[in-house]
Amino acid sequence: MSSYQDDEEGVGFDGNPSSFPKEFGYGFDGDNDVSLSTGEHKPRILLMGLRRSGKSSIQKVVFHKMSPNETLFLESTNKIVKDDINNSSFVQFQIWDFPGQIDFIDSTFDSDTIFGGCGALVFVIDAQDDYGEALNKLNLTVTKAYKVNPNIKFEVFIHKVDGLGDDFKMESQRDIHQRATDDLNDAGLDKIHLSFHLTSIYDHSIFEAFSKVVQKLIPQLPILENLLNILNTNSAIEKSFLFDVVSKIYIATDSTPVDMQSYELCCDMIDVVIDVSWIYGIKEEQQEATAFDEQSSSLIKLNNGTVLYLREVNRFLALVCILREDNFDRKGIIDSNFLSLRGAIQQVFELRNKPQPSSMLTAPGSPIMTNGGGTITPQPLPSPISNETS
């Protein structure tokens, strides 16, 4: 049975997570982590929608490893719940979960404070319910937010689609997209762009949707995509993801289209690595050891001739590659290229940690411009060794 509820208190989940133990959460702890300067403002993601639309369930499942079935016991949100997400230097933001009954007309609602520092606004619509009222609330919310902050990224999650047929899903998405866009055009706000996602907490669709939301808040995304493209070209890799291992959000991937099945395989691989590491990878005397460290790596060969290869980038980031088994014969070259990639990503971390008064990032393939005036030109990764010399 599928059920979606909203929670009441802004406290961390204290049940049994699916893969990560409770202590393996977000936060900086270790030499390999590069945190933002304390004075830098973190991006803010707002979760909005009608009551019982599933906002808090999304937050708990994605960022607190709550089992989808346990969201049955969440109570309705009756106040703004703020959740500070502190992970790798590319995944740092705040999530504000708003109660569904919030009134934008109320004089006590400070629109400037709430929307002024917002990076993205996620509006959740229950696809299993009549969404007429939700569309009216969406139009009011987007209109109010855009007037305060035109730079907000607007994302619409058409949620709870797990119980719907494929045809009904697509029809609902088309109808919601058309009606929401028409409402904005009628209001003279045709410049506002809404992105729509079909989501459910019972599969990986919610993780993929949140991945795309978070990526829009990462100014270094073009650089990361360019580095992954270089890795793929020189290592005969078909697809590569840079994953946040805690939430299974991918913060970057190469320029080829994302196949949902491939993404699900990579997520399952991360779960396997963490679960097995907690059982066999930690010695009794290692009191403060984590299941994911600099020695973490994994290789899975599928029966269709495909290889999944995982390597640790830093404490919270992992590179997961998909390639043909025939191309994995040159594993030494792939590992050498990976070390070059990890070094380049570390340089991006270090440069971001410097004071940055304005954004000067360039398009993929161009020199990486930093706000401090430094320049890094992405160097080609080592070329694969030919068969004759390998």
Domain boundaries, the chain: 4-12+37-216, 221-369
* Whether the Cβ atoms of residue 83 and residue 95 lie closer than 8 Å to each other: yes
What's the confidence (pLDDT) of residue 371?
Answer: 33
Residue type, 53: S
Q: How many CB atoms are closer than 10 A to CB 294?
A: 13
What's the confidence (pLDDT) of residue 375?
Answer: 36
Residue 241: phi and psi, rounded to 5, are -125, 145
What's the confidence (pLDDT) of residue 11?
Answer: 38
What's the confidence (pLDDT) of residue 283?
Answer: 61
Question: Could you tell me which of 306, 246, 294, 290 has the C-alpha nearest to residue 270?
Answer: 246
What stretches in the chain show pLDDT beneath 50?
A: 1-40, 88-89, 358-390
Between CA 118 and CA 337 the distance in angstroms is: 37
What's the confidence (pLDDT) of residue 34?
Answer: 36
Between CA 245 and CA 271 the distance in angstroms is: 9
- 221-369 carries CATH number 3.30.450.190: yes
3-state class (DSSP) for residue 177: helix
Evaluated on CA atoms 366, 318, 236, 203, the torsion sign reads: negative
> b/e for 234-260, b at 16 or more Cβ within 10 A?
bbbbbbbbbbbbbbbbbbbbbeeeeee
Between CA 355 and CA 351 the distance in angstroms is: 9
* Whether the Cβ atoms of residue 4 and residue 201 lie closer than 8 Å to each other: yes
CATH topology of domain 4-12+37-216: Rossmann fold (3.40.50)
What's the confidence (pLDDT) of residue 325?
Answer: 93
